[in-house]
Chain A
Amino acid sequence: MLWIAIRMLTGDAQKFYGLVFGIAFSTLLITQQLTIFVNLIERGASGTYNVSNADIWVMDPVSRTTDVAYAMPATALDKVRSVPGVEWAVPHLRSQASVRTKDGDLEGVAVIGVDDATLIGLPKRMLEGSPDVLSQPDSVIIDDVGMTRMFPDGSPIGERLELNDQRAVIRGIADAIPSFTSTVVLYTKYSQALNYVPGTRNRLSFVLVGAEEPAQAKALSERIERETGLKAQTRDEFAQDGIDFIIENTGIPLNFGITVALGFIVGVAIVGLTFSLFIRDNIKQFGALKAIGVTNAKIRRMVAVQAGLVGLTGYGLGVLGTVIFIWSFSADPTFKGFYIPWQIPLISALAVFVILALTGWLALRNVLKTEPASVFR
């Protein structure tokens, strides 16, 4: 009987493909837009996630994100080290600077100074070279975005730059997630970064902390705040701060929210119209089925199977389309690090379910009310 329902559904190829297309298109729209939205605002957290060792970030109370930070005096490091439960703490400098390239062009860069001795603060992976190159004089490590932006044709290794009248030689390429603004990032040692960044009185932007008990990072961050008067955020909190900063300061959530809503509306409109049209067209067949004694429950199940097939096919193709989209753009540096959070396909699955349940319910109302006698009219 359910197979009859499916034959009924696919009997009219035009409507069937219309339904599948409607579901696939709204799935694609919702999934793809949500993916790009999530990835875009997570760029605000990339600075935090690129540092893979620190449980806690300590900063001046007015600092907000990795890029909006107010520097502290150098003794803040010792204050943090004095807090019980802190396993280690290292200095971390983040600052904006202008770099002069070989051609004489000026480019804004972010200079990140990592701890001299331990190199804590570098991204986890290197694309080329090893972190040890920083031990050579005047060394910097560029990130892969910087590589594609500043050296589109050729390897940057060995290239000389000028930072604050000082020589900087690129000796490695880091594999890092770009920031929201895709700024070129140069990693160097803390002591070297002090020379590269024009001097202000205080230079220490962050203190990176490893907790004795990583599971109790939250409690430790509160203790650091209490004992030092500085602001301490766990890694996840600080990543969230970066995301919140972008949400608060850009129109991205609104724009993407509109697109996602449009996807939903398009889905409801196409699928709803086609599905109710399809069911209305088949109202005679349903009447006949009723006439031969098929119960309403059975009819409900039949419609549910039809909706399920359309939903599964459309949703599968839509998600596949999103994956192909993300995959085909993954080589593009703008899309570097984009991924599909597993929650998003579930959200779009829920949206598909709601669309189908809504339209199916609306269409079914007529069917259920149909008298078997209507076949003969």
Chain B
Amino acid sequence: MALDWKNLSFSRQILPIIAVIGLIAAAAFILAGLPDRELSEPEREPPRAPEALANEARVAGSGVVEPSSETIQIGSALSGLITDLLVQPGDRVGEGQVLFTVDDRAARAQLREANAAIAEARASIAEARTAQATAARQLTLYRNVDDPAAVSRSEVIRAEGEASAARERRKLAEARLQAAQARAGSAQTEIGRLTVRAPIAGEILAVNIRKGEYVSTMGGGSQPFIEMGQTQPLHVRIDIDEEQAPRVALGAPATVSPRGAADRQVEAVFVRAEPLVVPKRSLTNSAAERVDVRVLQVIYQLPETEGLFRVGQQVDAYIAARGSDQ
């Protein structure tokens, strides 16, 4: 029964051994070939609920960072060419600081014209005064003559007429002066309106105009000329599905993290909830967006962070739900 090499039989010994080796090889192949279906941890940190809310009732929302003043789209009162642009994006400006000026040559020409008219009116007034004085003196002279035969009656009438004509001329010139002054004032105002100033102190966020471009007040151009806003502090506008809205604990702080840096969560302070529930703005870039989801917008104030949040950035937020605190 022992293995006898001379008597080795293919069918009795070799074939079963081949079969057994084949089985072992097959088992190894099968075990090695089993698919890898292990769950793995994500390589990059996804936004997670903060520790405190991990197993609590909570409401999640996404939102966009905005200036605490909201974004101000600076407009121009008058149309015209831009002659000077004094700010660039990122500049901090004070209230009333000049942002840009629109071509004011026409308004200045009107001002000069009005000034000339003022000078002319003043000259007319002076001339009328002189004439009036002369006429008055002549009239006085005639009146002081005692002998009626010395001055003809017609002379006196003429002198009286001259005096009154000179008075009227002065009044007319004075009225012309006022008109010219009003024109000058109007031209001054026009010049003032051609200079666009910052309505509040804040940061320039975007400048969409360049020197030499034409700004139109007619609308049509969809881009605002300059966008600015108060970025100290920043606010964040969180959209919350209207179905979830009643659950939000208004007043509670929110845990906010920017997209792409989910591990850097900050706590934001409640500011207010917008009274108006608005359609959700989906960022699909589609002009024909149809919307049937409405969202409650809740505003939170972000703490000071070194450039972690920027205006317009998308964020993920977690807010405690009502009833979780009690």
Please measure, in the bound complex, the distance between the C-alpha atom of A20 and the C-alpha atom of B16, giving whole angstroms.
Answer: 10
B22 within 8 A of A: yes
The answer to whether B31 touches A342 (Cβ under 8 A) is yes
A151 within 8 A of B: no
B259 within 8 A of A: yes
A residues in contact with B240, CB < 8 Å: 78
A residues in contact with B27, CB < 8 Å: 345
B residues in contact with A73, CB < 8 Å: 280, 292-293
Task: Digitize A56-90: 1 where CB-to-B-CB distance is under 8 Å, 0 elsewhere.
Answer: 00000000000000000111011111101111111
Residues 281 to 318 of chain A near chain B (Cβ within 8 Å): 309, 312-317
Min CB gap A196→B, angstroms: 12
A99-107, A111-119, A253-261, A269-277 - the one binding chain B? A111-119
Q: In this complex, what residue of B is CB-closest to A337?
A: B35
Q: Which of A120, A199, A342 contacts B42 (CB 8 A)?
A: A120
Q: In this complex, what residue of A is CB-closest to B31?
A: A342
Interface size on A, residues (CB 8 A): 66
The answer to whether B34 touches A342 (Cβ under 8 A) is yes
B26 within 8 A of A: yes
B118 within 8 A of A: no
The answer to whether A84 touches B34 (Cβ under 8 A) is no
B residues in contact with A88, CB < 8 Å: 42, 46-48
A319 within 8 A of B: yes
B297 within 8 A of A: no
The answer to whether A53 touches B42 (Cβ under 8 A) is yes
Q: In this complex, what residue of B is CB-closest to A214?
A: B39
Task: Digitize B37-75: 1 where CB-to-A-CB distance is under 8 Å, 0 elsewhere.
Answer: 111111111111100011111111110000000000000
A residues in contact with B321, CB < 8 Å: 82
A residues in contact with B109, CB < 8 Å: none
A323 within 8 A of B: yes
Q: Which of B48, B61, B288 contacts A87 (CB 8 A)?
A: B48
Please measure, in the bound complex, the distance between the C-alpha atom of A177 and the C-alpha atom of B40, giving whole angstroms.
Answer: 17
Please measure, in the bound complex, the distance between the C-alpha atom of A314 and the C-alpha atom of B266, giving whole angstroms.
Answer: 68
The answer to whether A20 touches B15 (Cβ under 8 A) is yes
A331 within 8 A of B: no
Residues 1 to 32 of chain B near chain A (Cβ within 8 Å): 1, 9, 11-12, 15-16, 18-20, 22-23, 25-27, 29-31
Q: Which of A75, A81, A194, A313 contacts B19 (CB 8 A)?
A: A313
Min CB gap B192→A, angstroms: 45
The answer to whether B22 touches A81 (Cβ under 8 A) is no
A residues in contact with B241, CB < 8 Å: 75, 78-79
The answer to whether A75 touches B280 (Cβ under 8 A) is yes
Please measure, in the bound complex, the distance between the C-alpha atom of A314 and the C-alpha atom of B316, giving whole angstroms.
Answer: 62
Q: In this complex, what residue of B is CB-closest to A340?
A: B30
Please measure, in the bound complex, the distance between the C-alpha atom of A156 and the C-alpha atom of B291, giving whole angstroms.
Answer: 38
Q: Which of B18, B55, B62, B316 contacts A84 (CB 8 A)?
A: B55
Residues 323 to 361 of chain A near chain B (Cβ within 8 Å): 323, 326-327, 337, 339-342, 345
B residues in contact with A36, CB < 8 Å: none
A25 within 8 A of B: no
Given A316-B22, A319-B22, CB of A84 within 8 Å of CB of B56: yes
Interface of A toward B, CB cutoff 8 Å: 3, 6-7, 10, 13, 16-17, 20, 49, 52-53, 55, 73-75, 77-82, 84-90, 115-120, 124, 131, 177, 191, 194-195, 199, 201, 203, 210, 212, 214, 235, 309, 312-317, 319-320, 322-323, 326-327, 337, 339-342, 345
Interface of B toward A, CB cutoff 8 Å: 1, 9, 11-12, 15-16, 18-20, 22-23, 25-27, 29-31, 33-49, 53-62, 239-241, 243-244, 247, 259-260, 262, 280, 282-286, 288-293, 295, 316, 318, 321
Apart from A6-B12, A75-B293, A319-B26, list 19 A-B contacts with CB within 8 A.
A16-B11, A73-B292, A78-B240, A85-B55, A87-B48, A89-B60, A117-B47, A117-B259, A117-B262, A201-B289, A312-B16, A312-B23, A319-B23, A320-B25, A323-B25, A323-B26, A339-B34, A341-B34, A342-B31
CB<8 Å pairs between A and B, sample of 18: A6-B12, A73-B292, A75-B295, A77-B60, A84-B53, A84-B56, A87-B54, A88-B42, A88-B46, A116-B260, A117-B262, A120-B42, A194-B283, A201-B292, A316-B18, A316-B26, A317-B18, A320-B19
